[in-house]
Amino acid sequence: MNLFYNYQEKIFNSLKILDKRKIIHIPRKLKSFTVELPPKNQKADISCNAAMILAKVNNISPVKLAEILKKHLLLNFAEFKSIEIAGPGFLNIYFHIFFWAEYLTKVIKLSFKYGSNKVSKKNYNIEFVSANPTGPLHVGHCRGAVLGDALSNLLSFNGNKVTKEYYVNDYGGQIKNFVSSVNYRILEIVENKSFPKDKDLYPGDYIIDIAKKIIKNKSIRDFSNFEKIYKKLSSESLKYSMKLIMNNLNLLGVKHNNFVYESNLIDKKMVSKIIKKLEKKNYIYKGKLDSPKGEQTKDWKIRDQLLFKSTMFGDDADRPLQKEDGTWTYFAGDMAYHSHKVERKFDILINVLGSDHAGYTKRIESATKAISNNKVDLICKVSQLVKLFKNGEPLKMSKRSGDYITVEDLIKEVGKDSTRFMMLSRSNDVELDFDFEKVTEKSKDNPVFYVQYAFARINSIFRVLKLDISKNIKLNKKEFDPNAHEIEILKKISEWPKCIEISLTKLEPHRITFYLYDLATLFHSYWNLGSKNKDFRFISENKSIKNSRLILLQALSIVIKNGMSILGVSTPKSM
């Protein structure tokens, strides 16, 4: 129900009639013309640039061609009240009031499906967060977690099947350091031994919490031989660490429905299997690599190593698969993981990566192309840094860990709703300033409050009138007489499917936060007019309301609810 796309198609089909009559010529390879909202200083309902697109090929000025198109469109579209020619040849189109009455009725009928585009259903795998299971999530993880979850909601809203996946890196040096840290904390508690001052260990208080839980669990009773108990201690430590991470995600309202463990892929020899598979395709070879840009030449050893021909698939350089000691590189493990994804027959793979992985995208996209024979698309979305501010100053310290702000710290300070909305208030590829004061104040400057307050105000009207906001309201089209302010809100409501379509196409849920804030601004501005002019008050002195105004409010509440649900933000009925 994308108004703009629909009329782009309808107008194009209508102009084909003029082409058949040889009044105008439409080329086979027509540059697509647009139908969209006109600039804010113009009051038309929609604007079309068809005359400007077709003028050159018809050897006529855009304005003269616009006159021809205007006459034709007015004859063929009963819902077009009038058309003005603006600027260099834009067709500014005004609808009859009955059109908006019918449109509102459709919105109410669709209800919480309004805006959804279920034309092409696909099977998506979205991998996000995937933080090393060595401690609590910090703010850097938080932005990626919210982005991945909102993308999942957006895709699901449009009828796609979505697997929200967490890849657990439970293999390698960082895990050994983590388990050693837990062991040292256990010895500190049990035997009063001092925790070593080693930069590779994890000193956070959460390590003490994990150590205490393992001691209490009593699944391990003797901690004197670390090598002997390593496997069991690793399993227990990772279990409690993942519980901590999942608790952090629950605070954010994020729930994954699938977890893939790197150790399982290693046990199944998935790395060697995919390497052999790619070797058969001649994508693997032994060779030498020059030192990476930025590396000191004296610290770089040029040696023969196993390499993947990632340059064949758009990467800047071929990538090593084995370290000097013969163990697999991080990239080789990732190749095995993405081979596992491809085997599960997803249509599209999406990876939400942290800012420190921005340079990693080309190689893993190349690997996926090689593994799937270019049949599976991998899209990487990089979530840039979050800068925290409080009292005008950068905020860097954490109450628990001592070196970073945890998700738990953030949620306790500002709440889930503010955190999620603000994390989506900018495009994922730009840095985000997160101001604690701004997201907790009750004003227009706090966008999440402003949108929630609009929903609460709408619900308050229905409460006063003792009406059920979820119950369908029949519209008397003959009595439908919206004023100019209500038409502006209606026009904004009609933009919702377009907002969804663009957000979906570009995988950019931040566009929804912008849209909702603009919609809330229109509503609050209209509400405030009632304090000066009783004609603009939603409820009259005798506790009644125009039917047309009531159904507009219901449609408004539906759009806000739909949008906030995709963002994963609540819509309280009172505030």
CATH number at residue 513: 1.10.730.10
- Model confidence at 400: pLDDT above 50: no
**Residue 416 falls inside a structural domain:** no
Question: Would you state the pLDDT for residue 41?
Answer: 84
- Model confidence at 431: pLDDT above 70: yes
What mean pLDDT is predicted for residues 236-251?
Answer: 97
Residue 319 has φ and ψ, to the nearest 5°, of -115, 135
CA distance 158 to 21: 40
Total of domains in the chain: 4
Tell me: do 356 and 285 sit in the same domain.
yes
* CATH code, domain with 28: 3.30.1360.70
Judge contact between 131 and 352, C-beta under 8 A.
no
The token duo for 404 is 């970073």
More confident site: 320 or 303: 320
Tell me: do 326 and 301 sit in the same domain.
yes
- Model confidence at 523: pLDDT above 70: yes
What's the pLDDT band for 293 if we cut at 50, 70, 90? low
Q: What is the pTM of this model?
A: 0.92
State percent of the chain over pLDDT 90: 76
What's the pLDDT band for 471 if we cut at 50, 70, 90? confident
Tell me: do 183 and 314 sit in the same domain.
no
What mean pLDDT is predicted for residues 157-168?
Answer: 97
Sign of CA dihedral 295, 296, 302, 305: negative
Return all residues near 367 (Cβ < 8 A) that are at least 6 apart: 308, 310, 313, 331, 334, 335, 338
What mean pLDDT is predicted for residues 302-320?
Answer: 91
Question: Would you state the pLDDT for residue 548?
Answer: 84
Q: What is the dihedral of CA 12, 17, 18, 21, to 10 degrees?
A: 160
Highest mean pLDDT among 63-67, 284-288, 289-293: 63-67
Question: Would you state the pLDDT for residue 399?
Answer: 43
- Model confidence at 398: pLDDT above 60: no
- Model confidence at 294: pLDDT above 70: no
Domain with 235 in it: 173-251
Question: Would you state the pLDDT for residue 396?
Answer: 66
Tell me: do 235 and 259 sit in the same domain.
no
Question: Would you state the pLDDT for residue 69?
Answer: 97
Question: Would you state the pLDDT for residue 239?
Answer: 97
**Residue 462 falls inside a structural domain:** yes
Highest mean pLDDT among 75-84, 193-202, 466-475: 75-84
CA distance 351 to 368: 12
Distances (CA, A) of 266 to 238, 270, 335: 17, 6, 12
What's the pLDDT band for 454 if we cut at 50, 70, 90? very high
